């Protein structure tokens, strides 16, 4: 296990590969672990980092740091501590919100953003996600394969106050509108059968540099439900030239069928 200390509190992370940096941020259920497959794929061309946010996995549970703003500050301080420059951010659920918040506050440090199962507004979040225990959420949201069970083994470590704080931030902050005015390429990915996060209307999300793709056979965890297809989409997105619109992915028949 790799870790750094910030203000005397442990921040856990893992890293693979060499190349341009990519930061993977987990969601409300689980920890860095469910990014292992994607990290392995990305690490052939990039330096892939995955970290546990405040209140999750093996990172410290410091209640004052549970807001989206403080979680985004964690990313900033981590990058400074590790000597990392401009990055690509890949965030799932909560991690997607943190990625957007970080980009809004530090736009010059972000090359591109990929969010997965990330709600534009609180109305897109099923109430059950906001109130259920971590164990219940795993039973509800995972595909229950042995691989999925192992990937979500840290779900029980989630601090429910951290979940609540992030939901309040989503309700109060205009993350999507504020992000859309930035000139940062972004790909928003959703699972069509996700019971926790509703797929938003494309017009509510997309812009010149923002593109939305829906994976028909995925639920809340596309990286686990359709790992091969998801990792192919991830590598296609990361391989785009800096500043290029993800709408170019439409040119590939693999993704054209999945545009909404």
Determine the pLDDT at residue 89. Answer: 98
Cα–Cα distance measured from residue 155 to residue 260, given in angstroms and rounded to the nearest whole number: 31
Nearest-angstrom CA–CA distance, 153 and 169 = 26
- Note if the pTM is more than 0.85: yes
Rounded Cα distance, 211 and 92, in Å: 16
Per-residue model confidence (pLDDT) at position 159: 95
**How would you classify the pairing of strands 20-25 and 2-6?**
unpaired
Length of the chain, in residues = 260
C-alpha dihedral sign at 116, 129, 103, 172: positive
Q: What is the pLDDT of residue 256?
A: 58
Query: 2-256 has which fold?
Result: Rossmann fold (3.40.50)
Query: What is the structure's pLDDT at 206?
Result: 77
Ranges of residues in the chain with a pLDDT under 70 are: 250-260
Q: For 15-30, what is each residue's pLDDT tens digit? A: 999 999 999 999 999 9
- Secondary structure percentages of the chain, helix, strand, coil, to 5: 45, 20, 35
**Could you tell me if 96 and 28 are in contact, meaning their C-beta atoms sit under 8 angstroms apart?**
no
Q: Tens digits of per-residue pLDDT, 185-212?
A: 999 999 999 999 999 988 777 788 999 9
Report which of 74, 220, 66, 200 is spatially closest to residue 143, judged by C-alpha positions.
220
């Amino acid at each position: 296990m790799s870790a750094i200390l910030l203000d005397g509190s442990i921040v856990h992370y893992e890293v693979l590969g060499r190349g341009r940096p990519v930061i993977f941020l987990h969601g409300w259920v689980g920890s860095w672990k469910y990014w292992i497959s994607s990290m392995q794929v990305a690490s052939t061309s990039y330096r892939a980092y995955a970290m546990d946010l405040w209140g999750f996995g093996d990172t410290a549970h410091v209640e004052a740091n549970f807001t989206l703003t403080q979680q985004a500050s964690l990313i900033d301080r981590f990058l400074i501590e590790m000597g990392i420059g401009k990055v690509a951010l890949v965030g799932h659920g909560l991690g997607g919100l943190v990625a957007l918040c970080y980009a809004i506050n530090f736009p010059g440090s972000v090359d591109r953003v990929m969010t997965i199962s990330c709600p534009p507004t609180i109305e897109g979040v099923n109430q059950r996600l906001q109130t259920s225990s971590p164990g219940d959420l795993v039973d509800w949201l995972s595909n229950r394969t042995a691989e999925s069970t192992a990937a979500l083994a840290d779900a029980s470590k989630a601090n429910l106050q951290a979940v609540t704080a992030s939901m309040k931030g989503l309700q109060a902050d205009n993350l999507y509108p504020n992000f859309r005015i930035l000139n940062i390429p972004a790909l928003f990915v959703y699972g069509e059968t996700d019971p926790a996060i509703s797929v938003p209307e494309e017009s509510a999300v997309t812009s010149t540099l923002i593109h939305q793709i829906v994976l028909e056979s995925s639920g809340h965890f596309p990286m686990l439900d359709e790992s091969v297809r998801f990792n192919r989409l991830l590598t296609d997105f990361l391989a785009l030239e800096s500043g290029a619109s993800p709408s170019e992915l439409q040119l590939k028949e693999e993704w054209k069928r999945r545009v909404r």
